[in-house]
Amino acid sequence: IAVEWKLQLYPVLPYIKPVKKEPVAPSSKQKSTWRPPDSHYYKYGHTLINKVSFEDTDKDILAMLESIFLCKYA
């Protein structure tokens, strides 16, 4: 078998369609997702630990910087 394209002859082979695979039947085993119990720290850990605040130390640092750089020395 040959094919002509733009006055050129090309030897070709006939196309053979591949055999389709049969669909795999879904397994009878159920899929389960793991969920931590209510006592697990990942679930409610944010309520167990007090939040850390740096507001007081920031105010101290800002007061120190203001006293150094914004005061007029005589």
Dihedral angle, C-alpha 9, 10, 11, 15, nearest 10 °: -130
Is there a domain that residue 4 lies in? no
The maximal CA–CA distance of the chain, rounded, in angstroms, is 105
Domain annotation covers residue 48: yes
In a domain, 31, yes or no: no
Q: Which residue type occupies 72?
A: K
**Residues 58-71 pLDDT 10s:** 888 888 888 888 87
- pLDDT digits over 8-39, tens only? 999 999 999 999 988 888 777 777 888 888 77
Count of domains forming the chain? 1
Strand partners, 8: 5
Contacts of 14 (CB under 8 A, 6+ apart): 1
Confidence at residue 18, expressed as pLDDT on a 0 to 100 scale: 92
Residue 47 included in any domain? yes
How many angstroms separate the CA atoms of 36 and 31, rounded? 16
- Looking at residue 73, its pLDDT comes to 67
Question: Residue 72 domain-assigned?
Answer: yes
Looking at residue 39, what DSSP letter applies?
Answer: T
- Structural domain boundaries enclosing 61: 40-74
Does 49 reside within a domain? yes
